[in-house]
Structure 1
Amino acid sequence: MADDHTRVQDFFTTRAADWDTRFPDDGPAYAAGVDALGLRVGDAVLDAGCGTGRALPALRAAVGAQGAVLGVDLTAAMLDSAVRAGRDRSGALILADVARLPLRSRSLDAVFAAGLISHLSHPGPDLAELARVVRPGGQLALFHPIGRAALAARHGRPITDDDLRAEHNLRPLLARSGWLLGTYTDEDDHFLALAVRTR
């Protein structure tokens, strides 16, 4: 696991400084992804693998001043970029592994996770850890600002059936991890899988 963590940290550390400038047009997609969660004023929400915190302002707007917004990331350089962008004003930033969250069980109403699933060392247990911190009936949004086919094309590789984000793989993975997949959208301009925490 340490090697996986080191690989992820190395990947994002070298890209943290210019991450936002590489993807300057993702803001509306992030806002729409957050909106799909249906957050209410006063809710407590986690941005898991928050990176530079691009979702944090939209999450704060959704839950209001009464709500709680947390951003967790494994890479210090990404959190530093979030602070430089002023996004720490929208939520508390925590350097932590989503596989071992420093949060009480059932303490959150929702989790937003942009681009996270492909970087999880152990997707099943890691998604179960996200389920642990969400109350029954709470929601999980697995999001990406572009769909699977567009992302594969960006990286110069074909889309494959073994992709964890493919619905036929994601649905049973989520079910084994304490989530029930509801809405599944995979289009060129965004990917969004919404799941509910089961009892």
Structure 2
Amino acid sequence: MTDDHTDVQQFFTARAADWDARFPDDGPKFAAAVAEMGLRPGDTVLDAGCGTGRALPHLRVAVGPEGTVLGADLTPAMLAAAVRAGRQRSGTLLLTDVARLPLRDGVLDGVFGAGLVSHLPRPADDLRELARAVRPGGRLALFHPVGRAALAARQGRCLTGDDLRAEPNLRPLLAEAGWDMVRYADEDERFLALAVRRG
């Protein structure tokens, strides 16, 4: 891994053991966000920055037993927590950088990213790499179980104009990377931006 990831790995390594216990009620929000992606049985989907794999069971339900679910994360401790939780039964776990995926062009039908954008060191390049691995017409869901204002309040900070997840910032960022945003919701109870891979 590059130096760009040192802070991210340290942050999540320190929190991996009790990550799920800190957010015990988020499951239905993950399920609803996955449902809005419009995945179909047999699809191939990546949970980018999967952490402890909380989305993997919901992605498995969406694509069915004939589909393929991948979970990629660069923090070994988070993937170990996913295994302890039994979530490797829902998909294949990959210790890898989502900015350099070991996947062929256009092999994915969709990408799910919970809390992903704020941890990407080069957001435009990294979102472009996700687009490379997704077929034209495939979906990207950028999700967080609370909205931007609620998250800022939880972290004791104020929202600023340079927040990448603000719609005026996120829409052109996605467009530059090959995605067209088709839905944007920033509510107290969730953040969800859905985008489609341009052909």
Q: Secondary structure at 1:146's aligned position in 2? A: coil
Q: Secondary structure at 1:35's aligned position in 2? A: helix
Say yes or no: does 1:32 pair with 2:32. Answer: yes
CA positional deviation for 1:167 = 0.2
Name the counterpart of 2:106: 106
Say yes or no: does 1:188 pair with 2:185. Answer: no
- In the comparison of the two structures, how many residue pairs are matched? 199
Q: Secondary structure at 2:103's aligned position in 1? A: coil
CA positional deviation for 1:2 = 2.7
Structure 1 Cα separation of the partners of residues 3 and 17 of structure 2:
23
Structure 1 Cα separation of the partners of residues 56 and 93 of structure 2:
10
Structure 1 Cα separation of the partners of residues 23 and 115 of structure 2:
13
TM-score by length of 2: 0.99
Structure 2 Cα separation of the partners of residues 101 and 80 of structure 1:
20
Structure 1 Cα separation of the partners of residues 178 and 2 of structure 2:
25
Q: Secondary structure at 1:14's aligned position in 2? A: helix
Structure 2 Cα separation of the partners of residues 153 and 2 of structure 1:
31
- One-letter code aligned to 1:73: D
- One-letter code aligned to 1:89: R
Percentage identity across paired residues of the two chains: 72
Q: Secondary structure at 2:20's aligned position in 1? A: helix
Name the counterpart of 1:53: 53
Specify every segment of 5 or more residues in structure 1 that has no aligned partner in the other structure, as ranges.
Answer: none
- One-letter code aligned to 1:174: L
CA positional deviation for 1:21 = 0.1
Name the counterpart of 2:65: 65
Structure 2 Cα separation of the partners of residues 69 and 130 of structure 1:
15
CA positional deviation for 1:161 = 1.1
Structure 2 Cα separation of the partners of residues 153 and 6 of structure 1:
26
Q: Secondary structure at 1:18's aligned position in 2? A: helix
- One-letter code aligned to 2:43: D
Deviations, residues 84-142 of structure 1 (Å, cap 9, x unaligned): 00000000000000110000000010000000000000000000000000000000000
Structure 2 Cα separation of the partners of residues 143 and 185 of structure 1:
9
CA positional deviation for 1:41 = 0.4
Name the counterpart of 2:154: 154
CA positional deviation for 1:160 = 1.0
Specify every segment of 5 or more residues in structure 2 that has no aligned partner in the other structure, as ranges.
Answer: none
Please give the residue correspondences for 1:1-199 in structure 2 after superposition, counting only pairs within 5 Å. Answer: 2-199=2-199
TM-score by length of 1: 0.99
Structure 2 Cα separation of the partners of residues 123 and 5 of structure 1:
13
CA positional deviation for 1:3 = 2.8
CA positional deviation for 1:64 = 0.5
